[in-house]
Amino acid sequence: MNIQRVPFDHPDAVRLNDEVQAEYHVRYGDGGDATTLDAAHFEPPKGAYLIAYDEDGRAVATGGWRSQEANGEGHEDGDAELKRMFVIDAMRGRGLARRMLAALEDDARAAGRVRMVLETGTKQPEAIALYTSSGYEPCVKFGYYREYESSRCYAKPL
């Protein structure tokens, strides 16, 4: 797997983001993740967006992080918020998400972030299993979905 940094508005990133939004729609029955995201959120040194390509050059996994500081949505100074972790269906079960997660953690750590945080939902049990097995622990809810019963927030010191 070849992991590359790309802009959030790169054509492969846009296509994979459309796929993850479609999956959110299937799982949650709504219009997808309503969290406001902008390509500038993922520009170094305040963030990063990564895509994993297979040996044929096909985009198969994605994920990003963006800097957060203490705010009214529950973030803390030094947070790196994980966003849009996704592996295409045909490539699941091969450890790609774990590798992408490690690459994002390393990148955020190198940028001086002190804690990785993420929000997921109860209808994504495989995501919850990945994060908890990777050292993430429940934390105070933050972000757009903090008031939702199905929301689950996790954090890990970097």
pLDDT tens, N- to C-terminus, the chain (158 residues):
899 999 999 999 999 999 999 998 899 887 667 788 999 999 999 999 999 999 999 999 999 999 999 998 888 999 999 999 999 999 999 999 999 999 999 999 999 999 999 999 999 999 999 999 999 999 999 988 898 888 999 999 99
| Per-residue pLDDT, 31 | 67
Q: If we measure between CA atoms, which residue out of 102, 104, 99, 32 comes closest to residue 60? A: 99
Quote the CA–CA distance of 2 and 12 in Å, as a whole number. Answer: 14
Question: Residue for token digits 């902008």?
Answer: 38
The token pair at 76 is 């803390």
80 contact partners, CB below 8 Å, separation of at least 6: 47, 65, 66, 67, 68, 104, 108, 111, 113, 115, 116, 117, 158
Residue burial 27-47, b: 16+ Cβ < 10 Å; e: rest: ebeeebbeeeeeeebbeeeeb
Quote the CA–CA distance of 139 and 152 in Å, as a whole number. Answer: 8
Q: If we measure between CA atoms, which residue out of 39, 41, 88 comes closest to residue 65? A: 41
The token pair at 113 is 């972030």
Contacts of the segment 53-56: beta carbons below 8 A, 24+ positions apart: 53/1, 53/2, 53/3, 53/4, 54/1, 54/2, 54/91
- Domains in the chain with CATH codes: 2-157 (3.40.630.30)
